[in-house]
Amino acid sequence: MEVLPPPVPKLAEELEAPPVPDRKKRSFWFGSNNDKNDVYNIFKEVGIKILTNSDVKKPYHCIIPFSMEYDAIQFKSVEEIDAPVSMANMMPETSAGGRASDRPKETVRTYFPETWIWDLIPVGHTGKVNVEKTVPDTITKWAAGAFCTSPVGFGLAPNTGLTAFQPFFVSLTLPYSVIRGEVFTLKATVFNYLSKCIMVKVTLAESNQFTARPCEGCQYTLCLCAEESRTFKWILTPTALGEVSVKVSAEALKTEELCGNEVATVPEKGRIDTIVQTLLVEAEGTQETVSHNALLCPAGNLLTSVSHTFS
């Protein structure tokens, strides 16, 4: 018995095939295989979080040309793209010169308290009182509780809840604070809880308080179907100190383009949802504390004022 090595695949030019008359040889390219065997994806798959002040990106594998002659076809590698593809130049814009009823209705949300109501309210002899409040702009469920006191006892009301919600909205993910000049990633997630697909355009407003890394207009346009959400990213660098405002708008476009197999719908209310949140920007360097000691010896029981200058 003779053990033979496994057969080696032959190149196309080694196969027996009738020659193609008057056809020049063509070359094709083999790019690198992006099989996700990089440090970022390995950590991500095992559930390890990365804490760093540097940009965390998926490595981009450069295409290494490897040329071979072939008779018929040319291949090119296609890299995976995780970010949404900008379609701003492919979609029709809404007309700004139409009637007032045709113009998009915009809701601007700026009020996001952690505690909404914490008040003392007098209650009359009826034991009832009506309090009118404006619901904050946070898309969340509020848990409310109340208690009362009187000369004859203490009362406790059962807890109740109030849900503030809208079917189409955008939410921002911001760090609590950053250092001036620090690069960070701003994430905006758009949610569609409508029963149909919509065509959404997401835009980051320009500001003199931060700079954005150049992108294709920093604007994304794509289809968002029922019960779906998409996250968009911008790389920002704050240039001002203190409270810096970040403004992102999500607009449901009126278009005849198809989203999947259906025409994109437009919400009756709130076609444009705009959210404005603040980010604390701190100064560079390390905080230092300097202490000065002084011994004061008053004479007698007199109350005197003493001024001392620390240098």
Q: Is 84 exposed, middle or buried (0-12, 13-18, 19+ CB in 10 A)?
A: middle
The region of weakest confidence among 43-47, 51-55, 155-159, 172-176 is 51-55
- HSE value, Cβ hemisphere, 13 Å, CA-based, for 102: 7
14 SS3 class? helix
Q: What whole-number percentage of the chain has pLDDT above 90? A: 9
Residues 6+ apart with CB under 8 A from 89: none
45 SS3 class? helix
Q: In angstroms, rounded to a whole number, what is the distance separating the alpha carbons of residues 12 and 18? A: 12
- pLDDT for the residue numbered 53: 67
Q: Are strands 198-204 and 106-109 parallel, antiparallel or unpaired?
A: unpaired
pTM for the model: 0.56
Q: In angstroms, rounded to a whole number, what is the distance separating the alpha carbons of residues 263 and 252? A: 13
Contact 129, 121 (CB under 8 A): yes
Q: pLDDT tens digits for 181-201?
A: 999 999 999 988 888 888 888
Q: Taking the domains of the chain in order of start, what are their residue ranges?
A: 21-82, 168-282
Q: pLDDT tens digits for 222-264?
A: 888 888 889 888 999 999 999 999 999 988 888 888 887 888 8
Please, which contacts does 144-150 make with residues 24 or more away whose CB atoms are closer than 8 Å?
Answer: 144/117, 148/123
Confidence of residue 81 (pLDDT cuts 50, 70, 90): very low
- HSE value, Cβ hemisphere, 13 Å, CA-based, for 217: 11
Confidence of residue 110 (pLDDT cuts 50, 70, 90): confident
Q: Rounded mean pLDDT of the chain?
A: 73
**Helices and strands (H and E) in the chain: how many:** 1, 18
Q: pLDDT tens digits for 12-57?
A: 444 444 444 454 444 444 444 555 567 777 877 888 877 776 666 6
CA distances from 39 to 34, 35, 48, 82, 266 (A): 13, 12, 11, 17, 42
Please state whether 256 falls in left (phi above 0), alpha (psi between -120 and 50) or beta. alpha
Please, where are the H alpha helices in the chain? 39-45
Of 142, 178, 193, the residue nearest 284 (C-alpha):
178
The structure tokens listed for 206 are: 């320009």
Rounded mean pLDDT of 156-178? 86
- The fold adopted by the segment(s) 168-282 is Immunoglobulin-like (2.60.40)
The structure tokens listed for 184 are: 């960070």
- 204: β partners: 248
